[in-house]
Amino acid sequence: MFVSIEGIDGCGKTTQIKLLAEYLSQLGVEFTIVREPGGTRAGEEIRQILLHKDFQLCAESELLLFMAARAQIVREVVRPALESGRLVIADRFMDSSVAYQGVGRNLGQKVVQFMNSFVVGNTVPDITLYIDVPADVAMSRMRKEKKNDKIEVESLEFFERVRKGYERLMVENSKRFVLIDGRQAEEQVHEDIRKSLSVLIEKRKPNWR
């Protein structure tokens, strides 16, 4: 089973993945967590270029680098883990590129989706948990943490555009997307995530080694 977790910066993905990992460990489920961009040797180098080095990348280069990192992690980590029966949890995946580069950077949804299909093939999440928070809430959380990654210094309007991109994806992929209200307390968000995954987890439990 392949689960991706999506949302704007500061929506609480990292916090929730930690809680989910603890829960899955208690259940004895074998899982692999991947983070985009990164998660492979090449991917971690690409992450440095994208988030920490001042290369003044144009939007097109940024998109191509996210895609390159994704192509690596799909082949080096995600597919082998899924083939061995593990649950894979992705902290961001293909929908991030549509929302951030396609909509946020105005490169266009179609071109990004075309590239995604070339890069991931059939390796598409079974379920995408979209943690939704308004951009101002997310930004005030980030400010508290004093995070200053390149993309995180973007404006409130940029993140609202990205959020609109996710909303559009949710409508277009209503079977795959599950909306989680990220404004709630951490424990309640975790509870909602557990509920959303419970049926899938129960169904596949006997297959997990």
Binding site for ligand Z5A (CB under 6 A): 7, 9-15, 36-37, 51, 66, 92, 96-97, 100-101, 141, 144-145, 147, 149, 151-152, 185-186, 189
Considering the complex, what minimum distance in angstroms separates the CB of residue 62 from ligand Z5A? Answer: 7
Considering the complex, what minimum distance in angstroms separates the CB of residue 94 from ligand Z5A? Answer: 7
Task: Please tell me the distance from the alpha carbon of residue 6 to that of residue 166, in angstroms, as a whole number.
Answer: 8
Three-state DSSP class for residue 31 = strand
Residue among 24 and 142 whose Cβ is closer to ligand Z5A: 142
Place of tokens 């509920």: 195
Residue among 23 and 208 whose Cβ is closer to ligand Z5A: 23
Interstrand relation of 2-6 and 31-35 (parallel, antiparallel or unpaired): unpaired
Residue among 100 and 166 whose Cβ is closer to ligand Z5A: 100
Considering the complex, what minimum distance in angstroms separates the CB of residue 27 from ligand Z5A? Answer: 22
Torsion of CA 131, 135, 141, 146, to 10 degrees: 120
Task: Please tell me the distance from the alpha carbon of residue 160 to that of residue 134, in angstroms, as a whole number.
Answer: 7
Residue among 84 and 148 whose Cβ is closer to ligand Z5A: 148
- Which residue type sits at 10? G
Residue among 30 and 181 whose Cβ is closer to ligand Z5A: 181
Considering the complex, what minimum distance in angstroms separates the CB of residue 98 from ligand Z5A? Answer: 8
Q: Token digits for 122?
A: 């059939």
Considering the complex, what minimum distance in angstroms separates the CB of residue 183 from ligand Z5A? Answer: 7
Task: Report the run of H or E that residue 116 belongs to, with start and end.
Answer: helix 109-120
Task: Please tell me the distance from the alpha carbon of residue 200 to that of residue 80, in angstroms, as a whole number.
Answer: 20
